[in-house]
Amino acid sequence: MLENLIYAVQGIWSHKLRSFLTMLGVIIGIASIIAIVSTIKGTNDQIMQNLIGAGNNAVTISLMQGDSEYYMDSGLPSGVAVVSDEQKEAIRSLPDAADASFYVKRSYMDGVESGENTLNMGSIYGVDMHYLSTCGYIVSAGRPFVEKDYTEFRKVILIDDKIAKSLFDSRDPLGLTVTVHAEPFIVVGVIRKADNFQPVINSFSDYMTYHQEEYGTMLIPSAAWPIIFAYDEPENCVVRAKTTEGMSTVGKDAEKIMNQSIVSASDVKYKAEDLLEKARNKQELSASTNNLLIWVASIALLVGGIGVMNIMLVSVTERTAEIGLKKALGARKRVILLQFLTESAMLTSIGGILGVAAGIILAYVVSRMTGTPVAISVPAIILGVGFSMLIGIIFGLLPSIKAANLNPIEALRRE
């Protein structure tokens, strides 16, 4: 085998330009496939990162009317009871749940001001003591909510940096007052997400998913919520799964428990946002288009394979006398067959390696020009090189058989 490899390298090197032109189809085909696969993987990773974030594994179970979240400003939903303490404990006790929090909210909150500064848009949540840890918030200044904030119905508020900048400019907000619908709340802390996750907005759908966060977030104790809105509301839930893989399961289990609060026939139901399923659907939509491109790129490999078969047939014709001499000296068909198969496979393997390098460079060039995320797939690289070798064996088989079956006497006669 080593001797065949040496012969193959010598044969390729002795016809450098011809060998390179023969490899070109394989190089283009492998490069195209590597670039496309890297783009698919990068896009899929970005989709998963966008939807699941930096890994806090939070699943939201919201009260939905059809496909839309129920709008509480239109009044309390009929037939929906407040989630009981027993239900809350059952959700926190789920095998896949690390923690759970229950909250009420208004996504577009006006009537928030401090002095002359008015907040026109922003989200406000009435939360329990589990909310910060479940949703991945940390207190960057001040303190979190404490038990007495709930038992004594204190009007205190946590705000994020966006709200702090909008209402207080460069001043320290701690201890200052925020008026929410004419009710004064004391700022006790400034919060921010515990991770540095920033979603990439590539479409209107992405914008609609994340734009609410651009206006900032305010948190008040759930016990103080009726002070502003005058009644208790059915709560939504956010569950933090122990693992990313457990998100779908824990979401569905929590959804079933939450729907026990639906006490009469209603078009309003609790539904878990299955982020993993949503990510998979987006990935499949992205991959379906790119898979078509892979098939188109594979045509270049087919053309490259035909080029290899053609040049190997030429090589057999050029080396007919050499083959005849070897067979006259006792070389078996298998030896001749392996020699030419090795040369063919070596030719396409080198083309495959060059194609992988070109594909990686091409992927980063496309990424730089279009902003498309790229993630290099090691299995795709291994598969690409292996596939190029397989092409050499398949398309080199016919010339190798032809060489092995040459009659030594006829071969020695031929010049």
Per residue in 231-246, pLDDT (tens digit) is: 788 899 999 988 877 8
Predicted confidence (pLDDT) at residue 290 exceeds the cutoff of 70: no
CB neighbour class for 206 (10 Å; exposed up to 12, middle 13-18, buried from 19): middle
What are the tokens at 198?
């920033």
Return the pLDDT at 148. Answer: 95
**Residue 18: band (very low, low, confident or very high) from pLDDT cuts 50, 70, 90:** confident
153 φ/ψ sector (left φ>0, alpha ψ -120 to 50, else beta): left
**Residue 55 pLDDT > 60, yes or no?**
no
Give the lowest-confidence range in 65-69, 73-77, 323-327: 323-327
pLDDT exceeds 90 at position 319: no
Helices and strands per DSSP (H, E), number in the chain = 14, 13
Name the more confident of 318 and 384: 384
Q: Is the pLDDT of residue 219 over 80?
A: yes
| DSSP one-letter string for 49-60 | HHHHTTT--EEE
Report which secondary-structure segment, H or E, holds 185: strand 183-193
Whether pTM > 0.85 for this model: the answer is: no
Nearest alpha carbon to residue 49 among 206, 239, 272, 200:
200
Taking the C-alpha atoms of residue 40 and residue 287, their distance in angstroms, rounded to an integer, is 6
The structural domains of the chain, with segments of one domain joined by +, span 2-50+281-413, 67-266
Q: What is the pairing mode between strands 156-160 and 183-193?
A: parallel
Local confidence band at 410 (pLDDT 50, 70, 90 cut-offs): low
| Position with higher pLDDT, 194 vs 148 | 148
What is the helix (H) or strand (E) element at residue 367, kind and residue range?
A: helix 333-370
Who's near 363: CB < 8 A, 6+ residues apart? 34, 35, 38, 39, 374, 376
